[in-house]
Amino acid sequence: MLTQERLHSLLDYDQSTGIFTHKSTRRRVKAGSVAGTPHHNGYIVIGVDGQLYGAHRLAWLFVHGSFPINHIDHKNGIKADNSLNNLRDVTISQNQRNSYKHRAGRLVGTTFIQTDRWKAQIAINGKSTHLGLFATELLAHIAFKAAESKLLAGVN
């Protein structure tokens, strides 16, 4: 199991940019070079001791000393942005709520339907809850954000 100490001995991490760099030269890698490569799913992956890790998970280990308890969510929806202020340890449900943020330029919690309306919905414990139909995407998003605020505050 990879430890924070082992990670610190191999890589440096810039919390503001989310970029890892190699500390020493070995084989095909030069000291100071950027560590990691984009994966087909949009995440950055880094090989450490023969195993691939998501850079977002390594950032968490690097700073907090342990891997996240749940899942790492990229707040801004950009999977390659591993700056520390963009990462948070969340449940699957919380992570899914943010997963549609940047698809097709749509606002979170909204879907355009054929009747020239925008549907608002939110996922709660893996189940989608319909919040209503709205004339604009912005109104649907506002309904989503209101439901999300109530959910996060524990109000039913």
Domain 4-90 coded CATH 2.40.50.60: no
Residue 57 pLDDT level (bands cut at 50, 70, 90): very high
Highest mean pLDDT among 35-39, 54-58, 127-131, 136-140: 54-58
Q: Under CATH, what is the fold of the domain 92-153? A: GCC-box Binding Domain (3.30.730)
Phi-psi region of 117 (alpha: psi -120 to 50; beta: other; left: phi over 0): beta
Average pLDDT for 137-147: 84
Region 11-25: what's the mean pLDDT?
A: 95
Of residues 99 and 128, the one with the higher pLDDT is: 128
Over the stretch 93-119, which tens digit does the pLDDT of each residue have? 676 666 544 444 467 777 777 677 888
Nearest one of 90, 89, 86 to 78, comparing CA atoms: 86
Domains of the chain, residue spans: 4-90, 92-153
Could you tell me the sign of the dihedral formed by the alpha carbons of 136, 140, 141, 142, in that order? positive
End-to-end CA distance of the chain: 41
Distance between CA 74 and CA 11 in Å, rounded? Answer: 21
